[in-house]
Amino acid sequence: MSDLGALPVQAYLTACLLAGGIGLWLGRVAWRERDEPGGLEVALYLLCGGGVSLLYALRVVAPGETAMRVALNLATPLLGALPVLWILFALAFTGHDRWRTENRIVALATPAFAWVLLAWSSGTHGLARRSIAPVVDGPFTLLGYGLGPVGGAFVLLAYGLCIAGALLVVDLYERTGNRYRLQTFVVLLGTLFPFLAGVATFVDVGSYAHLSWLPTAFVIHGVFLYGTVFWLGTLDAAVVARDTAVEVMQDPVIVSGSDGRIRDLNPAAEAILPPEAVGLSLSEAFPRLEDGDEHPVTVGDRQFDIQEDPITDPRGTDRGHVFLLRDVTERERRQTELERREAELERQNERLEEFAGVVSHDLRNPLAAASAAVELARQRADDPDGALERAANAHERMDDMIEGLLALATAGETVDDLDRVSLDATVRRVWSRLETADATLTVEGDATALADRDRLEQLVSNLFRNAIEHAGEDVAVTVSVAARGDGVALAVEDDGPGIPSEARERVTERGVSLGGGTGLGLAIVGDIAEAHGWTLSVAESDAGGARFVIDGVEAADG
C-alpha cells in the first residue's frame, strides 16, 4: 500500500478522484442528452475516463497485490474502449457518418476486445502484459508490468486512432474555414492531453516511472469534447449539410468572416471568382456583392440574385456572413422576352386601334355616300343589266366587312367587368333585332350567367346570322342552356347542311368561310369566348346541321 501521508501520493489521489468524479458526473449529464449527434460517444468517453481514474486511485490505495490486480483488470476494458470511442466521435464531428457502418465499428472494436481478453489472461502467456508485480516507487506502491507483443501492438493502434481522429479534425478545419475554427481548435487542444500523458508515461518522464497520468488526461479530453458538443453546439446538421448539400449546390455559396474576408467557397462559387479569392476581402474579390446595390448581379453571361444571412455563434457573436447567389439567368431572359412581347403586343394594339379608327371614319363615310348615290340612281333609272344591284350588294358586303373588322378589333380584349345576364332573355332579344324571314327559334332552358352583356349579344347574333346565311331563310334554330359542373353550357344548333367534319377545326379562323361570307363572324365568336375564358367547340346537331357549344360560362350565384 502506498504511503498515504506523502504529499505526492495525496496530490495524485486528489487528481484521480477529482477527475473520476468530474468524468462520471459529466458523463451522466451527457448520457441524458445523448440524442445530440456525437453525444453518445462523448457520454461513454467521459464515463470510461472517469471510471479509469477512480480505478487508478484504487490501485494506489489498495492494501495488497490482489486488490491492485482487480482494479487493473476492471480498468482494462475501459482503457480499450477509449481510442475506439474517440475515432467514432471524430467521424461524427467531421461529418463522416457514412463511414460509421456496423461492420467498420466491429472492425475497430475487435482489436481492443482481443487485447482485453489477452490482458486478463496474461498470467498464462504474457502476450499483452508480462512481469506483473508490485513495485515500490518512492512513496508509491504500484503494480508494475511490461508490455508483451500484443500489448505493444495495441498501444501503437491506440496512438494511430488518436492521430487519425486528429487528422480528421484538421481536415474539417481546412474545409470549413472560419465558421468552425473555434470548435476544431477546442477539440484539437483537448486531444493533446492524452497524447502527451501517454508519451510521458511510456518514456518514463518525471520522478515516478510507474505513475500514469493517462486517466486524468482522458477526463480532461472528454471535458473538451463535452464543451464542443453541448456548449458550442457544433455537432448539428451543419457539418454534414455543408459536405452533402452545399458542395453539390449549383448556386454559388460564399462565406465571409467578421473581418469581411472570404473564408470559404463551394465549387460553384469557385467557378465565378478568382482562384485566390479565399482570404481576399469582398471588396477586392467581388465588389458588387459587398455593395449590394445591383440586383440581380451580372457575372459574365449569368445573372444572380443575392441572399445574405449573418453567421452568429450560440452566444450571438457576429462571425461573418453567408452569401447565396441564386442563378436567375433563365428567369431574367424569360422576363426580358415577356417584356419585349408585351411591348410588341401593345404596339400592335395601338396600330389595331388606329386601323379601327380609319375603318370607322375614313372608310365608312365615303362608303355610306357611295351607297346613297347607288340607291338614288336605282330610284331614278332602270337597271336592266343589274349593274346598280351588284354595286349595292358590293356596298352592303363592304359594310358587313367593316362592321366585322370593328367588332374583331375589340372582341378578344380581356373581359374585366361582368354583368348578370339571363341567357334566355339575351337570346330572344338578339333574335328580335335580326331580319329572320321564315326562320324559327326554340329556346330550351335558362340560367343567369356572368358575362359582358354587349359582347355576349354580339356572339349570339353572329351565330344566328351564320345559321340564316348558310342554312337558309327557313332554318330552325335551337338554343339550349344546361348546367355543367360549376358552370353553364350554351349550345346553338340548326337543321341546315351542317359543317364537314374536316372543316370544323378551322371555321373559327379569320378569313375562313364555307359559303362566301366575310370569314369574320365565327372568328369573332371565338375571340369573344376566349376573352371570357370560355371554350368553343363545333359539332353536328341532331338534325344534321351545325352545332356550336360555348362551355365554361360562369353561373351567377343566387
Selected residue with higher pLDDT from 25 and 297: 25
Give the mean pLDDT of the chain. 81
| Domains parsed from the chain with CATH numbers | 3-247 (1.20.1070), 251-331 (3.30.450.20), 333-408 (1.10.287), 417-554 (3.30.565.10)
Q: What is the pLDDT of residue 175?
A: 64
β-pairing, 297-299 vs 302-312, is: antiparallel
Q: What is the pLDDT of residue 404?
A: 59
Q: Which three cell numbers stand for residue 344?
A: 410588341
Answer whether residue 292 shows pLDDT above 70.
no
Q: Which three cell numbers stand for residue 557?
A: 350565384
Q: Which three cell numbers stand for residue 300?
A: 459574365
Q: How confident is the model at residue 320 (pLDDT cuts 50, 70, 90)?
A: confident
C-alpha torsion angle, residues 216, 221, 227, 229 (rounded to 10): -130
Residues forming beta bridges with residue 493, ordered by sequence position: 478, 547
Q: What is the pLDDT of residue 160?
A: 92
Selected residue with higher pLDDT from 402 and 105: 105
d(CA 75, CA 69): 10
Q: Which three cell numbers stand for residue 99?
A: 463511414
d(CA 469, CA 402): 18
Tens digits of residue pLDDT in 381-408 = 766 666 666 676 666 666 666 665 666 5
Q: What is the pLDDT of residue 12?
A: 87
